[in-house]
Amino acid sequence: MIIDEQLLSLGADYKEYQINEMIFSEGETPQYYIQIAQGKAKLNNYSEKGKEFIHGIVSKNESLVETSIFLEKPYPVNAVAIEDCKVLRLPKSNYKSFLSENPELYEKLVFALSEKLHYQYMMMHSISFLSPEKRLTTLMDYLKNNHEDQSLYSLQIPFTRQQLASLTALSVETVIRVIKNMEKDRILKIQNRKIFY
């Protein structure tokens, strides 16, 4: 994360997107380092049959697929606003120059990329081998581990049931059924349609 004022001083500009508007598409060539200033976006792909798989949800002060800037390869995913969204776009040449002039930032960058990669490995293992309940528990455990309060039901899951389904490669019906069973087993609780873990 780079503070907004610093990105603006390096030549970044703001761009706004409405809910469900595409920020970039799979296959496009990256031209910018993109960081969320307000709102949220999802990184996704669609199957040939139109089924969505969400790789992750990106929030304020997080960047979108910066790996493609370094690889000089097209985006492997789409980025779609899931709320009205404002992003900062810094031309990739400015971003690379900034990193070259501030090598101490590479450690933060490596940490952020490592965290994203860890999440991807964990979720791919979960999707490949685990039951629906274990998939959801793996995701919720990951979110809880990054939450300050570790007490029971302290974390409100920030995703809809549809988003949980797309993040875990399950159907919405399966997610609803499994969540009800998890509530019966007191693994989580539902209050005003919100899930607490």
Considering 68, 102, 136, which residue would you say is the last residue of a domain?
102
Q: Within this chain, do residues 65 and 39 fall inside the same structural domain, yes or no?
A: yes
pLDDT at 50: 87
- For the chain, how many structural domains are there in total? 2
Q: Are residues 24 and 91 both part of a single domain? A: yes
Tokens of 179: 């969540």
- Residue 6 per-residue DSSP state: H
**Domain CATH number, residue 12:** 2.60.120.10
User: Dihedral (C-alpha) 22, 45, 29, 93: value to the nearest 10 degrees?
Assistant: 80
Do 98 and 15 have their domain in common?
yes
Phi, psi of 70 (to 5 degrees): -75, -35
Q: Which domain holds residue 68?
A: 4-102
Whether residues 49 and 139 fall in one domain: no
Q: Residues 89, 32: one domain?
A: yes
pLDDT, tens only, 140-164: 999 999 889 999 999 999 999 999 9
Residue 35 pLDDT: 97
One digit per residue, the tens of pLDDT, for the chain of length 197 reads: 789 999 999 999 999 999 999 999 999 999 999 999 999 999 999 988 888 999 999 999 999 988 888 888 999 999 999 999 999 999 999 999 999 999 898 898 899 889 989 999 999 999 888 899 999 999 999 999 988 999 999 999 999 999 999 999 999 999 999 999 999 999 999 999 999 99
Is 96 domain-assigned? yes
Answer yes or no: do 13 and 94 share one domain. Answer: yes
In a shared domain, residues 158 and 189 = yes
pLDDT of residue 141: 95
Model-level pTM greater than 0.95? no
Q: Is residue 56 part of a domain?
A: yes
In a domain, 109, yes or no: no
pLDDT at 16: 98
Instruction: Say yes or no: 127 and 38 in one domain.
Output: no
How far is it, in rounded angstroms, from Cα 178 to Cα 172? 10
Regarding beta strands 22-24 and 78-81, do their DSSP bridges make them parallel or antiparallel, or are they unpaired?
antiparallel
User: Per the domain annotation, does 79 fall within a domain?
Assistant: yes
Looking up residue 144, the CATH number of its domain turns out to be 1.10.10.10
Distance from C-alpha of 33 to C-alpha of 90, rounded to nearest angstrom: 5
Are 143 and 87 part of one and the same domain?
A: no
Residues 46 and 19 in one domain: yes
Domain end residue (candidates: 102, 133, 158):
102
Cα–Cα separations (whole angstroms), residue 185 to 120, 133, 179, 182: 28, 12, 10, 5
Domain boundary among 48, 72, 102: 102
Q: Is residue 111 part of a domain?
A: no
State residue 106's pLDDT score. Answer: 87
Say if residue 151 is in the same domain as residue 190.
yes
Domain membership flag for residue 112 = no
